[in-house]
Amino acid sequence: MTESTDPGRRTVTTLRELPQSIEPPQDLWPRIEAQLEERAPGATRGAAMPQRRRGQALRWLAAAAMVASLAVGVWIGRSLVPGAGGGVAPSTTANRSSVPGVAPTTFDTTYVSDPRYERQRTALVRALQERLAALPAPARAKVSASLAAIEKAKKDLEQALGRDPSNALLQELLINTYQDEMRVLTDVHEASDPGRGI
Amino acid sequence: MSAGEHFRFLENVLPCGDEGLKPFRSGAPLTVQMPHAQAEETRVDWGGALLERARAGDRRAFERLYREHVGRVYGLCLRMTRDAQLAEDCTQETFINAWRALGKFETRSSLATWLHRIAVNVSLAKRRRSGQVEPLPEEEEGMAAGEWILETPVEVQEIESAIGGLPDGARDALVLHALYGYSHVEAAQMLGIAEGTCKAQLHRARKLLRERLGVEVS
């Protein structure tokens, strides 16, 4: 390598002699600092997530929960609820009121931790396999797919709430999802009742 | 010392164990600013302390890290994008992403390498968004890692220009491997390609450089 005052005119004999470091023409720090978040980096994953991405994640979760609810509602309307073949899906409120022993009127977290809910759900889940066996194969497949979608939505929402426990929208979506699950379990229970049929 | 000068002085010091505060000259590497005997002993602590402070949300500490690494990050981005404005954007995004992901940084790996990984990802993403995607060459096995020695000396400007004229894939592999010293495996991982593909890109880069510079590259 030979000495030269002009860095560009300097000669090299290996590529490793090329400068690894090149200073940017202007100081980029003010622009970077302006975009750094107020919170400490990595304090919590939720806190570190940029606001825009957080909003997108919430929208995705909301969309997923809505799709799951809609799919379940339509499926119940068409396949399980006797006399509902007219094409009008039952409303959430109507279905909620059909759950024995559980008749919430508003969304609140006490619904989830209600011991009556827990007891009812446990009993329904225990009898689920037996009840499913009584359903025709296509209906069974739809129920399983719906329950799997609901389970996935629950897990996603619970994870999101773990990161942002005070988020009211997430709480509401989670309650909705619990109710959807309960509704499917109840409808399966009723639909597979020998006295009612599909 | 005026109040402003005093403030600037305080801004430019870094705690150093029991020895109180030592002046910090941004721009020069941390180790250069310490007596030689101390340097090896305290180098890691200083870097670690800065990292810890940055992780805890100290922007001043993160600014120090930025000042220490910005040249290498910008150099890589510039060589990958061949566009000064785009390279500035990539550098900026690299440090913003790094700040947000500092909690996930594993201290057993080098901060410089970690920043380079982010910079490569950002640069590749920017290039993809601008539609500059080229087909990958076929994998090539058994290509030995060369020293990239030029048969005769070449001016920096000339060789930088020749590198800048290489196709994207060949240039990426060459820059990471031959300039920044990453192994085939590391360069391939950073670029998200197979090791064989990386070697093939290097082979292609060597051939093209030889043609464009008119000198043997061994």
Any domain includes B110:
yes
Q: Which chain A residues contact residue B101 at CB under 8 A?
A: 41-42, 48
Q: Which chain A residues contact residue B104 at CB under 8 A?
A: 42
d(CA B150, CA B212) in angstroms, rounded, equals: 12
Confidence of residue B26 (pLDDT cuts 50, 70, 90): very low
Count up the domains in chain A and report the number. Answer: 1
B57 touches chain A (CB under 8 A): yes
Whole-number mean pLDDT of chain A?
A: 69
* Residues 6+ positions from B197 with CB-CB distance below 8 Å: B136, B137, B138, B139, B188
Region of poorest pLDDT, from B43-47, B58-62, B102-106:
B43-47
A21 touches chain B (CB under 8 A): yes
B74 touches chain A (CB under 8 A): yes
Any domain includes A97:
yes
CA–CA min distance B16, chain A (Å): 23
Residues B108 and B161 in one domain: no
Average pLDDT rounded to a whole number, residues B174-191: 93
Any domain includes B40:
yes
Residues B121 and B49 in one domain: yes
Any domain includes A43:
no
pLDDT in tens, B115-168: 999 999 999 998 887 765 565 555 555 454 567 888 888 889 999 999 999 999
A34 touches chain B (CB under 8 A): no
DSSP secondary structure string for all residues of B38-67: HHHHHHHHHHHHHHHHHHTT-HHHHHHHHH
Residue A97 has pLDDT above 80, yes or no: no
Q: Longest Cα pair distance anywhere in chain B, in angstroms?
A: 65
| Boundary residue ending a domain (B94, B114, B129) | B129
Residue B197 has pLDDT above 70, yes or no: yes
d(CA B60, CA A137) in angstroms, rounded, equals: 64
Any domain includes A63:
yes
Please give the angle made by the CA atoms of A185, A150 and A137, to the nearest 5 degrees: 55
Any domain includes B139:
no
CATH of the domain at B17: 1.10.1740.10
Average pLDDT rounded to a whole number, residues A178-193: 78
Residues B51 and B118 in one domain: yes
Any domain includes B205:
yes
Could you tell me if A176 and A72 are in contact, meaning their C-beta atoms sit under 8 angstroms apart?
Answer: no
d(CA B6, CA B29) in angstroms, rounded, equals: 23
Q: Which chain A residues contact residue B149 at CB under 8 A?
A: 13-14
B27 touches chain A (CB under 8 A): no
Count up the domains in chain B and report the number. Answer: 2
What burial letters (b/e) apply to B155-175, b meaning 16+ CB within 10 Å?
A: bbeebbebbeebebbbbbbbb
Residue B12's pLDDT is 43
Any domain includes B50:
yes
Write the secondary structure of chain A as one string of H (helix), E (strand) and C (coil): CCCCCCCCCCEEEEHHHCCCCCCCCCCCHHHHHHHCCCCCCCCCHHHHCCHHHHHHHHHHHHHHHHHHHHHHHHHHHHHHCCCCCCCCCCCHHHHHHCCCCCCCCCCCCHHHHCHHHHHHHHHHHHHHHHHHHCCCHHHHHHHHHHHHHHHHHHHHHHHHHHHCCCCHHHHHHHHHHHHHHHHHHHHHHHHCCCCCCC
d(CA A58, CA A69) in angstroms, rounded, equals: 16
State the residue range of the domain holding B62.
3-129
- Is the confidence metric ipTM above 0.95 for this complex? no
The residue among A150 and B186 whose pLDDT is bigger is B186
pLDDT in tens, A111-127: 455 677 777 888 888 88
Any domain includes B38:
yes
Residues B12 and B104 in one domain: yes
Residues B179 and B83 in one domain: no
Residues B72 and B161 in one domain: no
Any domain includes A5:
no
Please give the angle made by the CA atoms of B204, B208 and B210, to the nearest 5 degrees: 120
Residues B125 and B163 in one domain: no
Q: Name the nearest CA neighbour of B114 among B54, B199, B203.
A: B54
Any domain includes B117:
yes
Tell me the whole-structure pTM to 2 decimals. 0.51
Residues B166 and B112 in one domain: no
Q: Which chain B residues contact residue A3 at CB under 8 A?
A: none
Any domain includes A3:
no
Residues B10 and B104 in one domain: yes
